[in-house]
Amino acid sequence: MITIYIDNQPHQIREGQNLLAACLSLGFDLPYFCWHPAMHSVGACRQCAVKQFKDENDQRGKIVMACMTPATEGVRISIDDPEARAFRSTVIEWLMVNHPHDCPVCDEGGECHLQDMTVMTGHNYRRFRFKKRTHVNQNLGPFVNHEMNRCIQCYRCVRFYRDYAGGLDFNVFGAHDSVYFGRQTSGILEGEFSGNLVEVCPTGVFTDKTFKKHYTRKWDLATAPSVCIHCSVGCNIIIGARYGRIRRVLNRFNSQINGYFICDRGRYGYEHILSEKRLHGSRIRENGGHKELRTNEEILRHLTPLIDGKRFIGVGSPRATLESNFALQTLVGTENFFHGVPDRDHALVERVISITKMDPTLTPSLDQVKNCDAILILGEDISETAPMLALAVRRAVMDEPRRHLAPKYQLPLWQDQALQEVTQNKPGPLFLATIGKTRLDNLATHRLSAHPEELSHFGFALAHAIDPAAPDAGETSAEMESCVKSIKEALLAARNPLLISGTGLGHAALIEAAANIARALRHQGKNAYLDFVLPHCNSMGLGLLGGRPLSHALEMVSQVDGIIILENEISRSFSSSRTNQFLGAAKTIINLDIMQTPTSDIATLSIPVASYAESEGTLVNQEGRAQRFYRVVPENPNLRESWSWLVEMMALIKNQPERLGKTPHEITTKLAQVNPIFAPLLSLVSWGSETQKIPRESHRASGRTAMTADISVHEPKPADDPGSPLAFSMEGCHGDVPGNLLPRYWSPGWNSVQSLAKFQDEVGGPLRQENPGRRLFESTGNPIKNYFAVSEKIKKNNHGRWQVVPLYHVFGSDELSAAGAAISERIPDPYIAISAKDAAQLNLLENSRIRLIADREQFERPVKIISSLPAGLVGVPMGLPGMPYVEPGTIVDLIAIPDHRDNEK
C-alpha cells in the first residue's frame, strides 16, 4: 500500500494503478470517457485532467491526465483545483460540439455516461452556434442500432471490438472532426460480442436494437440479478422488465466469471421468452382433439386421473433448474429419473464430473483463464460452444506477452497503447487441436486439424511426452511427433498452462487425454489448469443430481403408465425414429415446457411453465459453480415454475406424503439437506436480513400508481416473493447489499453502467460482499493423480465410410436462444458439411444436395464445403433448427442427389 494525496488529504491505495483508477476506487467523482476498467488507458479524450503538484510547497502544479499518470508513493494531486475543473469543463464542451443533444429521443437517455459526465463537469450551456457535422448511419444487423451523430470520438468501441475482442469487420474511418465508427459498408456486425458496444459506448451511438422494440427508460425497468442459460459458462446478467414483459439483458459483473462483458447469445437470447413459440395455455388431448385448459383448477382436475396411483418415469433437463430437476427426481424416484440428453453426453458429463471431483483445484474460473500463459485447446470449438471462454482465452493469449514485456520496458499493465506497440500485438502461446478451423485460429501459435481419434491420440502422446509415467499412445506420425515436441516445450515453459476440452465432439477419449496432459503437467510441478465445456447451462447440475441415461427410458417406457417430460425436446437427444418410438410407446405424456416443441404438440397434457426470467433457481456451470438467479417479474399463476407443478403432482400421487416445499428457497434447502453434494447451496440461499429486502424497482420508477388506475384507483398490494432477497417494490435496501444481489448499477450522479465502480472497493476488482457463486467441489487436499489408460477405440477407422462430427454455431445450436427474433436472423441454414477434397472426389459443389443415411436416421440437406475439415468426416450442425440429432461418431453413408434443374435442361 502507498499513500497519495488528493486535495491535501492522504489516501491509502494499492501500488501500480493509474491516478484515475485510484481516484475512482477511492470514491471520487472524476469524469472520463476513453478509459475502461477492462481496456485500461489510452489518454485519448483528455477528460480526466487533474492538477499534479511536485510537493506540498508547489502552489502552481501542472495539469496531467489522471488515466495516464501512475499513482506513486506521495504523489499530490488536486481534483478540485479551479484550473483543472475549467479544463475538464472545456474539454467536454468541445467533445459536445457535434453532439445532437437529442437525449429525449435517445435510448441511452437516463443511463448515459455522457449525460452524467456533462452534468459532473458543470457544462450546462451550449455556446456552439455553427452547423454540426452529420453522418449517415449503418444497418448493423439485428443486434445493434447505429446513430453516429451522437459520437464523441472516445474510441472505446474500436478498442473493444477490435483490440479486446479481436473483431475485424468494424473500424474507424476519416480524420479530424469527421471520424466515423462503423463497418466499411452497411451490414451485419459479425462478431459474437457486438452487443457489448451498447454498454461500452458512453453515449447513444450503439444501442440495443431488440430493446428498441419495447423500449423503457432504465429507471422504469424492474430488474433482477440472473444467470445466462444459453451455454455452460453461466455468465451473470441483469434482466429488465416492465409491465410483466421482459425487455432486455445487460451484463452483470461477476469477478470470477464474465467480468464486464457477455456474448450476443446471452444478451439477445432472452427474446425466446417473447417468441410466438412461447407456450401460454395448457391443453389436453381429448377425443382426438385438443382442449384448452384455462385455470389451474381445471388443469389439476385433468391431471388427477392421469397420474393418481400411476407409475411414471421422468425425463429431466439440462436447461431446467436444479430445483425443477430435483422435484421431478423426487416425484418419480431416482431409479425412474432419466437425463433428457443424448446417452453420449450423459456419459461424457459423468466423466467430466468424476475428473473434476478427483482434483477440483485443476478447474479454473474464467478469471483465472485470463491469467494462463500457455493454452492448448483439445477438440472443442469454444468460440461456438462457450464464447465467453473463447474471449477469456483471447485475453490470456494477447496479455501474455504484455505481462512479461511490461517490466522490461518499465510500463504499467494499464498503458494499453504503449503495450500494443511493445508487443506489436503478437499473441502468446496458444495451440489448437481441433477438427477444423475456429475463430481463434488467427491467434494460434500452432494448429492441428485432425479426426477426433487422431486428436485424442495426439493428447495421450503429449501427456506421455510430458510425463513418461503417463500411458503411451503408441506410434505417432512424424508431423504429430514434432507437434507434440513443440507444444510440450511451450507448456513446460509456462507457469500456468491451461488445457481446454469439452463434450462438443462427443469423444470420451479426448476428455481423458486432456485430463492426462493436465495431470502430467502437475506432476512436472506446473500449476496447470483443466477446463471442460459442457453442453448446457445446467449439464453439471443435472449430472450431479444423478439419474439414468435416456436410452434406458426407451426400454422402460412401455412398462409404465406414462412419462413426465421436464423442459425438454426429446428429438434433440434421440434420432427421429427413436423419438417416435419413445413418445409413441408412452401411454401418457405430461410435458412441462417454456416453448412449443414437437414434443409439446403431441403431449397428452401440455403445461406451459415459467422461463428463467420468471423464476428463481440454481444452475451449476461447467466449473461446478452453483449460481442462484432471481425472477424479475412476479409469479404468473398461468406460468408457474416447473417444480411447483411437480410438487402439486406429488400431492396428487397418493403414496407421496411429503411436500418438498412451497418456495424455491424451501426446495433448494431440501435439496441441500438430502444430497450432500449440494450442501453448499445453503450458503447461496441464506441472505442476512428478511426485514429489508432489495427492491427490484428503482427509487424513481414511474407509473406505479397509474398502471392499473383504469381498473381501480386503489394501488394493488405488491406481489410476494417469499424466501427471496428481492422485493417487487421501489422500497427497501437500496444501499449496501451483497454485490451478487445487486439488481442494477446506479449511484447518485452515475446513471450509466459505469456506476459499477461505485460497488467495488477497487475498480475492476470484486464487488463489495460479492458471492460469486459457490463451487460445489471441495478440494480434498489429496487429489487422485493416476492416469487414464489409452482407450482402445481411438484408432482412426479406415472403412471407407463417413464419420459424423458435430459442428456448432453460436447462433443456432442453443435451443432457446435460437427461438429469439434477433438471433434467428443470424442462424445459418441447415447443411451437411464435407471437406474440399471429398467434395471434389464426389463431384459436389457448394449447395448441391446430399443425403445422409445413418442406421436410424436419414435426411437430405445442401452441401457446405469446409476446406479445413479433414477428409472422411461429415460435419453435422448440432441443434440447428431443422436438423435432426445424429450421434457424433456415427458411421454413415452419403449419397449425392442429382440436381433437378440440370435434368430440366
Return the range that interacts with another protein (CB under 8 A); candidates 165-173, 532-540, 751-759, 774-782.
165-173
- With residue 145 as reference, give the H or E element that holds it: strand 144-146
The site map against another protein for 302-341 (x = CB under 8 A) is: ----------------------------------------
| Integer angstrom CA distances of residue 620 from 231, 321, 477, 544 | 11, 9, 40, 9
* Nearer to another protein (CB atom), residue 162 or residue 734: 162
Q: How far is the CB of 882 from another protein (least distance, A)?
A: 31
What cell was used for 264?
Answer: 450476443
Is position 175 an interface residue for another protein (rule: CB under 8 A)?
yes
Q: How far apart are CA 721 and CA 741, in angstroms?
A: 15
Is position 173 an interface residue for another protein (rule: CB under 8 A)?
yes
Q: How far apart are CA 222 and CA 253, in angstroms?
A: 18
Q: Are 153 and 179 in contact (CB under 8 A)?
A: yes
* Nearer to another protein (CB atom), residue 161 or residue 582: 161
| Integer angstrom CA distances of residue 597 from 166, 232, 278, 569, 592 | 37, 22, 9, 6, 11
* Nearer to another protein (CB atom), residue 173 or residue 409: 173
What cell was used for 404?
Answer: 512479461
Residue recorded with cell 458439411? 833
Q: Are 378 and 501 in contact (CB under 8 A)?
A: yes
Residue recorded with cell 477428409? 871
Binding-site size, another protein (CB under 8 A): 12
What cell was used for 492?
Answer: 513446460
* Nearer to another protein (CB atom), residue 174 or residue 882: 174
Q: What DSSP string runs through 470-487?
A: SPP-----HHHHHHHHHH
* Nearer to another protein (CB atom), residue 178 or residue 797: 178
What cell was used for 310?
Answer: 400411476
Residue 759 CB neighbours (<10 A): 19
CA-based angle 534:537:538, to the nearest 5? 90
| Integer angstrom CA distances of residue 280 from 294, 604, 607, 611 | 10, 16, 8, 11
Mention every residue, 6+ apart, whose C-beta is less than 8 A from residue 782. Answer: none
Return the range that interacts with another protein (CB under 8 A); candidates 163-171, 246-254, 516-524, 622-630.
163-171
Q: How far is the CB of 598 from another protein (least distance, A)?
A: 42
* Nearer to another protein (CB atom), residue 154 or residue 499: 154
Q: How far apart are CA 667 and CA 675, in angstroms?
A: 12
| Integer angstrom CA distances of residue 679 from 357, 379, 472, 539 | 15, 34, 40, 18
Choice from 7, 72, 101, 168 touching another protein (CB under 8 A) = 168
Residue 747: DSSP 8-state: B
Phi, psi (rounded to 5 degrees) for 549: -65, 150
Q: How far is the CB of 399 from another protein (least distance, A)?
A: 22
Choice from 76, 113, 150, 183 touching another protein (CB under 8 A) = 183
Residue recorded with cell 454498454? 199
Closest CA to 533 of 230, 225, 885: 230
Return the range that interacts with another protein (CB under 8 A); candidates 73-81, 170-178, 750-758, 881-889.
170-178
* Nearer to another protein (CB atom), residue 184 or residue 486: 184
* Nearer to another protein (CB atom), residue 164 or residue 170: 170
* Nearer to another protein (CB atom), residue 218 or residue 447: 447
Residue 11 CB neighbours (<10 A): 17
Q: How far is the CB of 868 from another protein (least distance, A)?
A: 18
Closest CA to 281 of 645, 641, 644, 606: 606
Is position 185 an interface residue for another protein (rule: CB under 8 A)?
yes
* Nearer to another protein (CB atom), residue 440 or residue 553: 440
CB-based burial, 333-369: b 16+ in 10 Å, e otherwise:
eeebbbbbbbbbbbbbbbbbbebbbbbbebbbbbbbb
Residue 13: DSSP 8-state: E
Q: How far is the CB of 751 from another protein (least distance, A)?
A: 33
Phi, psi (rounded to 5 degrees) for 657: -75, -35
Is position 186 an interface residue for another protein (rule: CB under 8 A)?
no
Is position 828 an interface residue for another protein (rule: CB under 8 A)?
no
Choice from 180, 275, 523, 704 touching another protein (CB under 8 A) = 180
* Nearer to another protein (CB atom), residue 179 or residue 653: 179
* Nearer to another protein (CB atom), residue 139 or residue 527: 139
Half-sphere exposure of 302 (CA within 13 A, CB side): 21
Phi-psi category of residue 764: left, alpha or beta, with phi > 0 → left and psi -120 to 50 → alpha: left
* Nearer to another protein (CB atom), residue 138 or residue 752: 138
The site map against another protein for 727-756 (x = CB under 8 A) is: ------------------------------
Is position 174 an interface residue for another protein (rule: CB under 8 A)?
yes
CA 162 to chain centre: 20
Q: How far is the CB of 695 from another protein (least distance, A)?
A: 45
* Nearer to another protein (CB atom), residue 8 or residue 184: 184
Is position 169 an interface residue for another protein (rule: CB under 8 A)?
yes
Q: Are 693 and 727 in contact (CB under 8 A)?
A: yes
Q: How far apart are CA 135 and CA 875, in angstroms?
A: 44
Q: How far is the CB of 41 from another protein (least distance, A)?
A: 22
Is position 346 an interface residue for another protein (rule: CB under 8 A)?
no
Q: How far is the CB of 168 from another protein (least distance, A)?
A: 5
Q: How far is the CB of 201 from another protein (least distance, A)?
A: 18
Q: How far is the CB of 870 from another protein (least distance, A)?
A: 25
* Nearer to another protein (CB atom), residue 170 or residue 802: 170
- With residue 47 as reference, give the H or E element that holds it: none
Return the range that interacts with another protein (CB under 8 A); candidates 183-191, 352-360, 510-518, 759-767.
183-191
* Nearer to another protein (CB atom), residue 170 or residue 268: 170
Return the range that interacts with another protein (CB under 8 A); candidates 27-35, 181-189, 305-313, 550-558.
181-189
Choice from 171, 524, 576, 577 touching another protein (CB under 8 A) = 171
Residues numbered 12-71 forming contacts with another protein, rule: CB under 8 A: none
C-alpha gyration radius of the chain: 28
Return the range that interacts with another protein (CB under 8 A); candidates 172-180, 236-244, 546-554, 832-840.
172-180
Choice from 184, 442, 779, 780 touching another protein (CB under 8 A) = 184
Residues numbered 268-297 forming contacts with another protein, rule: CB under 8 A: none
Return the range that interacts with another protein (CB under 8 A); candidates 81-89, 167-175, 239-247, 457-465.
167-175
Q: How far is the CB of 582 from another protein (least distance, A)?
A: 49
* Nearer to another protein (CB atom), residue 176 or residue 654: 176
Return the range that interacts with another protein (CB under 8 A); candidates 127-135, 169-177, 251-259, 539-547.
169-177
Q: How far is the CB of 174 from another protein (least distance, A)?
A: 5
* Nearer to another protein (CB atom), residue 133 or residue 768: 133
Choice from 119, 172, 405, 701 touching another protein (CB under 8 A) = 172
Mention every residue, 6+ apart, whose C-beta is less than 8 A from residue 468. Answer: none
Q: How far apart are CA 383 and CA 363, in angstroms?
A: 19
Is position 797 an interface residue for another protein (rule: CB under 8 A)?
no
What cell was used for 729?
Answer: 417494490
Is position 163 an interface residue for another protein (rule: CB under 8 A)?
no
To the nearest 10 degrees (0 to 180), the angle between helices 113-121 and 82-95 is 140
Residues lying near another protein in the complex (CB under 8 A)? 168-175, 180, 183-185
